[in-house]
Amino acid sequence: MCLFCKIAIGEIPSKVLFEDADLLAFHDVAPQAPVHVLVIPKRHLASLAEAAEADAAILGKLALATRRVAEETGIAASGFRVVANSGADAGQSVHHLHLHVIGGRAMAWPPG
């Protein structure tokens, strides 16, 4: 069982922003901005590269959850960044799909 699966079932504590039957949103333990929240599906899915047509509903819920994170953390109006790393070259270190919702400061471009 991966790290985020353990967080999803409550085996490892986290600072939860919100959750429902399918998703969990929690604050990153090593934030890269004033607001840095991770949104994960509770069901294990390794990455976007492994997502299939059958995952369309959960992917949509993940996308909408990023808006909720932005609203609940007060960064929706000023702007926020959503990042999904997929694979080693992208910097994915936990192989459980997760979206980073980052904001609360101006961001530079390009990000990498």
Q: Does residue 36 have an active-site annotation?
A: no
Interacting residues of 67 by C-beta distance below 8 A, sequence separation 6+:
76
Please list the residues that pair with 25 across neighbouring strands: 18, 39
As a whole number of angstroms, the distance between CA 41 and CA 67 comes to 15
- Tell me which of 44, 95, 96, 98 is the catalytic residue: 98
Spatial neighbors of 64 by CB under 8 A, at least 6 apart, are: none
Task: Provide the annotated active-site residues.
Answer: 98
